[in-house]
Copies of this chain bind each other. A is one copy, B any other.
């Protein structure tokens, strides 16, 4: 259950969290297959909180753009659900924790081409394919959506980074062809992976991401009106809580107790239902692929504020 924040005030608290959690020496890892991500200085750390009442608090490198990577999956899912008048999306992807690595083909084979949830790579490819039914350039649509929600012209697709990441996308191409083989992909494998990689290569700041994710804390109401229904907003939150942190969803729920979604760019988006959206960013990752300093900072923030859904 969330507890209303009394004191201390949020601004100084975020400053304190930046002081306590910004890395002082190199630890953790960076994704081996995405060269540009490895070039980010290890000691970057930013945090932003966008509240339901319209305030934004931030500290550290909260205005430095970073690659949102898998955090994009939250927004493509919301867009797909918004447009899913036929209600077919949930016949193509499940909503269960996977218990396996985010890019594993094993479970996909055992379950005949139906991904376990929209946040593992195979599931996100299906969601992207679903979005492409409306427009073949789904990545640009996602960018427009984020720009509108963040009320900022800052977000952009780093096309050079996307091209570099695409060159190392053999695993995602394998997943996409595998989905195609099971009949669970309408567009070509190559075009879906390209759109997926470009979505992941969107660059945003902590402040922009917190604002963009706020609709999930506000029963689906975003910057320009309803994004998704209240029940879909709750449901996206439930999927974030059970599936949002790769193979460490249980550990994150245990330590932080809030719906979250991480990306290998080092960002984590967290929702406090009814209260606020939080984005933290620090580039070095733990063994499960989640931001090392970011996860620790969120646990700290949860302890200090009492924010937890439990």
Question: Which A residues lie at the B interface, using CB under 8 A?
Answer: 1-2, 94-100, 104-107, 109-110, 116-117, 170-171, 173-178, 180-181, 189, 233-235, 237-239, 241-243, 247-251, 253-254, 257, 259, 273-275, 308-310
Whether B116 pairs with A310 at a CB distance below 8 angstroms is no
Please name all residues of chain B whose beta carbon is closer than 8 Å to the beta carbon of A2 when the two chains form the complex.
1-2
Q: Which residues of B contact A274 (CB under 8 A)?
A: 1
> A309 contacts which of B233, B249, B309 (Cβ < 8 Å)?
B309
- In contact, A250 and B259 (Cβ under 8 angstroms): no
Known: A106-B105, A109-B106. A178 touches B171 (CB 8 A): yes
Give Cα A170–Cα B187 distance, bound, in whole angstroms.
Answer: 13
A177 lies within 8 A of B181 (CB): no
- Tell whether, in the assembled complex, residue A273 and residue B177 are in contact, meaning their CB atoms are under 8 Å apart: no
What is the chain B residue whose CB lies nearest that of A193? B177
Q: A97-B249, A173-B189 are in contact. List 13 more A-B contacts (CB 8 A).
A: A95-B254, A96-B247, A97-B97, A97-B242, A97-B250, A105-B105, A106-B110, A174-B181, A177-B177, A234-B257, A235-B257, A241-B242, A241-B253
Q: Which residue of B lies closest to A251 (CB)?
A: B95
A233 and B107 CA atoms in complex are apart in Å by 32
25 contacts between A and B (CB under 8 A): A1-B1, A1-B273, A1-B309, A94-B250, A96-B99, A96-B249, A96-B251, A97-B250, A99-B100, A104-B109, A105-B105, A105-B109, A105-B178, A170-B180, A171-B177, A173-B173, A174-B177, A174-B178, A234-B308, A235-B254, A238-B253, A238-B310, A239-B253, A241-B241, A242-B249
